[in-house]
Chain A
Amino acid sequence: MRDAVTHSLDLHRVLTVAGSSAPGAPWAPPRDDALTWFKPGGSLPSAPTPLEFTFAVEAFAFGVSRALESLYFPLYEVRARLLDGELYLASVPSAMAERDLPAQLSRMRDSALRFTRSVRGSWERLIKREVAEYNDRLAQFAPADAGDREVAAAILPLRRTRANQWFAATRAVFAPTVMLQAGLGPGDAGEARAVCIEARALIHDRGTPLVRAALERVGARLARAGCIDRPEDVDLLEYPEVMSALETGADARPIVNQRKAAASHAGAPGPDDLGPDLPPDAPRMYLLRDVLALAL
């Protein structure tokens, strides 16, 4: 099985960008300018507003990163970045994974067994209920009688709720399905793909509008409090700024006006990829695009 896992990776290539440390020195994740950035496509917004980026995109990046690292995918994290207003993702290399790639990939296969034996089984037994429960929490966010401070306290867990939804579905459904398609598990890939459709329906069709509705309720509340002029202006605030406005009632209109002015100067679309060239068999990209294609 190890051969099947590693066939598409050149294990002998010397990897120089998995971390910024020399032997015996502390490891540190590579900086943004050392990474190769690509446009994710799919359901993530191509030019997210400040709120979309700091809420929806960061929740996605957190959940997917934690899911893939827990399954021993050979990466440190999936990082998101805005470049001239456009959304890019990068896969951040893992020094730990690349110190012994065959062992890492063997553990990847073993740690996913509980899902790859039957993606349908684990979905029906546990994961579907968990993903649906997060939608319930999104729907219940910020009842009309809640005070601003209560809403401010609830909004941090709200992003974590969405991140956990991405985590649960990616770890148990999207990533194992991709592994099955690559021959890395005993289960039925066709059956797993059918589960992906159900997972996407819960996250995208049901969850995304609930996120939108929750943030609209926050926007309406901030507009009533005079922090912003119109409810939809909340989209021009970053997530911490929204929390701050809820907590303190601070006037956020100067920030909104500044961002409106900046948005009016948007330039031409950027290239599909940015940064140093990356070989298609770079360990950090192993099956990643397939996972993103299924999830998004």
Chain B
Amino acid sequence: MGDHRIFVGTEAGVLVYADEDETWRLDRTTLEGKRAAAILPEPRTHAIYAAVPGDGVYVAADGGREWDRCFAGDVRSLAIDPHDPAVVYAGTEPIGLFRSTDVGDHWSEVEALQNLPPRVREKWWFPVYPHEGHVLSIAVDHQDSRIVYLGLEHGGIVRTDDGGRTWEDISDGIEYLDIHMVESDPSRPNVVYAATARAFYRSEDFGRRWVLSEAGLDRDYMHDFVLRPGERSTLFMTTANGTPPAWLRPTKAEAALFRSADGGLSWRQLGGGLPSSMERMVWAVAGDPTDDRALVIGLGDYTPNMPPGSAPGGEVWRSPDSGDTWTRVCETPSPIRSICIAS
């Protein structure tokens, strides 16, 4: 374990937990006051990136001690090219994509995304004022870096096959275009997965046709998933019952974690210490780059639904055995929105 760290992105800063003989203690708080919507470690360069909405992209080259803002903008998502750790993508609101080819030092807009026809761009919208859509997920294909998928909240899924020179809307088959997560399968590049605010979909033809794939799921709000590649990849997905406004009910999010051991074809809810219905939303799940059986999840209260005077918070849970058993690592003073494990 040694220099392992759990980086927890909350609505008020990034908390770094250090592993001491399998006991996790708070090592430090960084990016204080900032809402880290995404945290992304790059193990090859040991850099860590954080996306802060309404602010920009921050990068730390020293295990998360000193952060520099390397990009200014309303950033909602991040991705790193699996074939070139120097290439970093940032997705924004309004919907836009920016790319750096030098570890975040310089950025340029992938302008051709805006060339999609009006009938496509008219779907880019969001139900919360000011009603602008944003890029919530970026997936660079594991075999061919020229293929990039964007999950748009709201707006569907778009893809480029030529490194961003041209784009195509590939949302056919998806009924509710609130896309939370899109990812291609490292083992089978033709297989792509999409978690939306109303369903989970699978495509076997690079996203051209999406089919519902929900056997065993009893929730409808899919948020984040992590993928462990294999002959039949294993997926771990965070879910809830209904969209956040519905969580005003007494049972709140009714969140649950599901695992698919057959590449997203069927699902089973995970227990092993996790409550069967969690009031807090499981906003984030991440694997351990050095231990393919270890997982962490980050939970958070949905702040707009909190009664006046109450203090919203979050919690971290960890599983050492592919989700079979779970223990709570810590309570956090602010709701968690992102999580990762890095050295």
Contacts and interface: CB of A to CB of B under 8 A. Distances in A.
Interface of A: 19, 21, 24-29, 62, 66, 69-70, 72, 76, 94-96, 103, 107, 110-114, 130, 156, 160, 164, 167-168, 171, 240
B173 A26 contact: yes
Contacts of A112: 245
Interface stretch (B29-37, B83-91, B207-215, B325-333): B207-215
A113 B248 CA distance: 7
Given A111-B243, A113-B248, A94 B175 contact: yes
A96 B199 contact: yes
Interface stretch (B63-71, B125-133, B179-187, B316-324): B125-133
B interface bracket (residues with beta carbon within 8 Å of A):
20 to 34
Given A96-B199, A110-B246, 13 more contacts: A21-B173, A26-B173, A29-B175, A70-B127, A72-B242, A76-B175, A103-B220, A107-B220, A112-B245, A113-B248, A114-B248, A160-B125, A171-B127
B154 to A, nearest CB: 8
**Which secondary structure characterizes the binding site on chain A?**
helix
A70 B174 CA distance: 15
B62 to A, nearest CB: 43
B249 A110 contact: yes
Contacts of A29: 175
B175 A24 contact: no
Contacts of A27: 173-175, 212
Contact of A111 (B199, B210, B242): B242
Given A26-B211, A96-B176, A96-B199, A113 B245 contact: yes
A240 B117 CA distance: 12
B118 interface: yes
Contact of B173 (A28, A69, A72, A94): A28
B243 A26 contact: no
A25 B241 CA distance: 25
Interface string B143-181: 000000000000000000000000000001111100000
B173 A164 contact: no
Nearest to A117: B248
A167 B175 contact: no
Contacts of B122: 62
A164 B126 CA distance: 10
Contact of A167 (B127, B174, B199): B127
Given A103-B220, A113-B245, A114-B245, A130 B129 contact: yes
Interface in B114-146: 118, 122, 125, 127, 129, 131
Contact of B249 (A21, A66, A113, A168): A113
Nearest 3 A/B pairs, CB to CB = A26-B173, A110-B246, A111-B246
B267 to A, nearest CB: 15
Contact of B248 (A62, A94, A110, A130): A110
21 contacts: A21-B173, A24-B211, A25-B211, A26-B172, A26-B210, A29-B175, A66-B127, A69-B176, A96-B175, A96-B198, A107-B246, A110-B242, A110-B245, A110-B246, A111-B243, A113-B245, A113-B246, A113-B248, A156-B118, A160-B125, A171-B127
